[in-house]
Every structure is written in C-alpha cells, then in structure tokens.
C-alpha cells in the first residue's frame, strides 16, 4: 500500500506534460475534531493518489488545510472523497484565478500540531465564535464605510505585491506575529470601528476573528474565501476590484494576478516588478522579487556572494552550508540587506507599471519529448545558452524544445553545439553544452529533445 511519493518532481512534470490534460489548482480548509489524524492522513493519500491529485496538505486534530492540483476530469471524483466526511460535505473549494498544470508536483500530506501555526492556546477562547463572513460585494461596501479598519493578515512578502486599498499591512514574517501587534494598535477602537480582515483563502481569518472577538472587538468581519474567492466573485458579478496587484500563493506559481497593476519593485534594481523567485544558492534560497534582467545577470541569485557560491564545486558548496540551519528552503521569508528595494509595512497603492497580458501560464505541450537537462546560464550579448545534460544524449541536428513558465515553449533545430568548451557532434550525460539561442532563457527553463 503506497503512502508516500515515489516519483521526483521532474518525473512528475514529464508525466503531466505527456498526459496533456488540464489540471485545476484549488485550496480548501475545514476546522473539525479529528480523532486519529494519522489514519485520516493515510486514507486521504490512498484516495487522492488514485486520482492523480497533488498538493501540500496539513492535517491535525483541529482539521485540514490544503492547497492542491487536481486533473479537471477527476474534479467531481475528488469532491466525493471530501464529502465522504461529514465535516466536509458542501465544502467550498477555492479554484485558482490562474491555472498552471505544474503548480504542484508531489502529493505531500503532513500531520501537524495545528493546520495553521498561530501560536494560540485554543483552550483560552471560543474558536467557533468567529466574525461575520462577507462576500465580495458586501466586502466592497463595508470598505467604503469611514468607520471601517481593514487589516491584511498575511506576511510582508505577500502584501508587498498586492493588497486591498487602505489596508493595514503589518511588517511581519509569520501570522502569529500579527495578532498581538494589531490588538495593541487598534485597542482604542474595539467599540466604534468595524474590524475587517482578509487573507489568501480565509483560513487565517477564521482563527483571527475569534481571537479579536475574545479580546473585546464588537464588530468583526472577514472576507469569505479570502482573496482567491473574492477574485472569482469579481469576474462572476462584474464588480470593481478594491484589491490592487497580485495575490501571492504557496505553490510553484508564486502568485496569481488580480489586477494588471504592478505596485512593487525588483529588489535588486528597482524596476517595477512583482515576480517572486528563490535564490539559486542551495544554502540560501531567499524568497525575493527579481526582474528578468536581474535574473539573467545574477543567475537567479539574491547577491554577489550567492552568485560566487553557485559557481564553486559542489563539494565546496556543501562544505559552506554544513551545520547551518537553512529552514524551509522553498519559502524562506527572511529579509536581506542585499535587497535594496525591499518594502514592508506601509505600502503604496499607486501602480508603478501595468502588467503585460501573458499567454496561457503554461501552454499544453503536444509533442513527444524527452527531458535532457536544465538551463545553467544565458550570455546576453552573445545570445548563447548553456545547459547541463542530465538524461540521454544530445546531437547536432536534433530538434529541441526549451520550456519554462516565462519562456513558454520554444522549438529549434541545433546546427552547432559546443560541449565542455569544444565543438563536437554529441553531448552525453554530465556534459555542459552551449549553443546559440535567439531568445532569452531563464534558469527555470528545461531542455527537451523532440522525438516525434
């Protein structure tokens, strides 16, 4: 009986591309009393693995919190696996505004002490005494009330790229930090103001609203389904968006656009930009905003120090980070003095630029292909790309596909290749190969051989 992943992310990505079927990114949560979280976890894994459902899910005695990717054709079957449990009958599924077949590449279900790390002792207050849920239209109306105070219960790196106009955006790195800060900041308005809160999908506000009602706030409201559901209702009902910018999400997309306004800057050069990335240095993986020009120049690194490190032999890189606590690599949120244009706390509400309309986030790949390797560098002036060959051989004359979230899918035929510094006809596993590429490539790009 399989209870854990057996495929790597790269293997799963190839399978998804080969299948060529639409997937839906969605999220949901439910507070409930679960007697045996481990059994609950195992039962879910078996059911979801059979449906090719992927994602990051936390379960605890207090409930479930899930962000997932599900094949569109299995959506109703997936819903049935939820409604097999009484506490999830009729549960709201927040379907993403923008879809990407590669939003999740593994099915990870973890048993935790809590489904959200809030730092609260639930025994000290009534966690079921929550605030009033507001739909998008009601939320817009209450924001226009001069007696309303709206609070963003997300973290600094989330609110920096997008937030509601007029919102208080605490300069915090964790949800638990924001609760006492907001309680102190608004202590004189417990009776005379509407305390209105929002977060990504609504789960943080469920606990936060109960916390603030316990601390004496009389008029507590929360955005039902968070920003994700708000954006969906905007489209369905033709409402004005009071949210400006991009909604940060915790999957491989790192964000979905709500409005075309770019309100943040590249942390390295200051150019208008709202695309998050992770530092390429395995000993850092700092989450920061980086434009395409800086991505090419800095090779996906947050600093010159990290840039130097990634060019060291692997054994030296491992030695440098031995004994150091890297933390949660994918979403390390710490700030850095190297990021000259990082903003937190009080944030602007005016657009610095307008986002260009992209094509589909990830075009369906309709050709038969084999993954060869990944991009290592792009020499801008020479228009030459460098790749590491990790699987099979690459030959002069092969038809290839270079694919990535920003690059899209670009096909070309190789007329000439340089392997480990010398011109030759064949590149084998482990070789560094360079060749002319008439378009900019990114470090997130993959190299495929087309075998139709």
Residue-wise over 182-191: b if at least 16 C-beta within 10 A, else e?
Answer: bbeebeeebe
Q: In the annotation, is 199 catalytic?
A: yes
Q: How far is CA 333 from CA 23, 161, 262, 277, in A?
A: 28, 14, 21, 11
Q: Which residues touch 184 (CB under 8 Å, ≥6 apart)?
A: none
Q: Answer for the pair 244, 259: CB distance below 8 angstroms, yes or no.
A: yes
Q: How far separated are the first and last CA of the chain, in Å rounded?
A: 36
Catalytic residue (one of 199, 284, 302, 306): 199
The Cα 174–Cα 199 span in angstroms is: 13
Q: Answer for the pair 258, 162: CB distance below 8 angstroms, yes or no.
A: yes
Q: Answer for the pair 30, 91: CB distance below 8 angstroms, yes or no.
A: yes
Q: Answer for the pair 92, 225: CB distance below 8 angstroms, yes or no.
A: yes
CA proximity to 52, closest of 86, 5, 121: 5
The Cα 343–Cα 157 span in angstroms is: 9
Q: Answer for the pair 222, 206: CB distance below 8 angstroms, yes or no.
A: yes
Return the active site residues.
199
């Amino acid at each position: 009986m399989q209870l854990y992943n057996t495929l790597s992310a790269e293997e799963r990505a190839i399978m998804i591309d080969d299948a060529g079927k639409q997937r839906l990114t969605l999220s949901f949560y439910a507070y409930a009393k679960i007697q045996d979280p481990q059994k609950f976890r195992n039962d879910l894994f078996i059911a979801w693995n059979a449906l090719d459902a992927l994602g990051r899910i936390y379960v605890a005695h207090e409930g479930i919190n899930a962000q997932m990717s599900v094949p569109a054709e299995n959506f109703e079957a997936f819903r049935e696996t939820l409604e097999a449990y009484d506490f999830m009958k009729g549960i709201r599924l927040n379907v993403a505004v923008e879809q990407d077949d590669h939003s999740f590449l593994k099915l990870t279900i973890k048993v935790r002490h809590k489904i959200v790390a809030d730092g609260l002792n639930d025994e000290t207050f009534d966690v079921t005494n929550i605030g009033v849920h507001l739909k998008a239209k009601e939320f817009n109306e209450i924001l226009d009330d001069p007696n309303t105070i709206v609070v963003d219960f997300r973290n600094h790196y989330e609110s920096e790229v997008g937030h509601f106009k007029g919102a208080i955006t605490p300069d915090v790195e964790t949800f638990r930090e924001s609760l006492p800060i907001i309680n102190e900041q608004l202590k004189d308005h417990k009776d005379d103001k509407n305390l209105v809160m929002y977060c990504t999908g609504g789960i943080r506000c469920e606990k936060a609203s109960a916390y603030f009602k316990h601390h004496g706030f009389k008029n507590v409201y929360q955005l039902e389904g968070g920003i994700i559901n708000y954006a969906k209702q905007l489209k369905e009902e033709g409402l004005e968006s009071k949210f400006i910018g991009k909604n940060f999400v915790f999957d491989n997309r790192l964000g979905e656009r709500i409005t075309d306004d770019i309100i943040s800057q590249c942390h390295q050069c200051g150019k208008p930009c709202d695309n998050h990335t992770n530092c390429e240095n395995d000993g850092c993986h700092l989450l920061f905003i980086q434009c395409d020009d800086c991505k090419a120049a800095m090779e996906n690194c947050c600093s010159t120090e990290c840039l130097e490190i990634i060019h060291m032999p692997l054994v030296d890189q491992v030695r440098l980070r031995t004994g150091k606590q890297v933390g949660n690599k994918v979403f390390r949120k710490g700030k850095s003095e190297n990021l000259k244009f990082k903003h937190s706390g009080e944030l602007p509400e005016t657009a610095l630029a307008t986002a260009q309309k992209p094509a589909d986030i990830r075009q369906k790949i309709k050709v038969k292909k084999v993954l060869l390797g990944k991009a290592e560098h792009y020499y801008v002036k020479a228009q030459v790309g460098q790749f590491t060959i990790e699987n099979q051989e690459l030959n002069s004359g092969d038809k290839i596909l270079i694919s990535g979230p920003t690059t899209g899918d670009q096909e070309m035929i190789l007329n000439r290749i340089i392997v480990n510094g010398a011109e030759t006809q064949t590149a084998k596993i482990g070789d560094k190969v360079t060749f002319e590429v008439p378009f900019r490539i990114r470090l997130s790009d993959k190299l495929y051989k087309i075998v139709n």
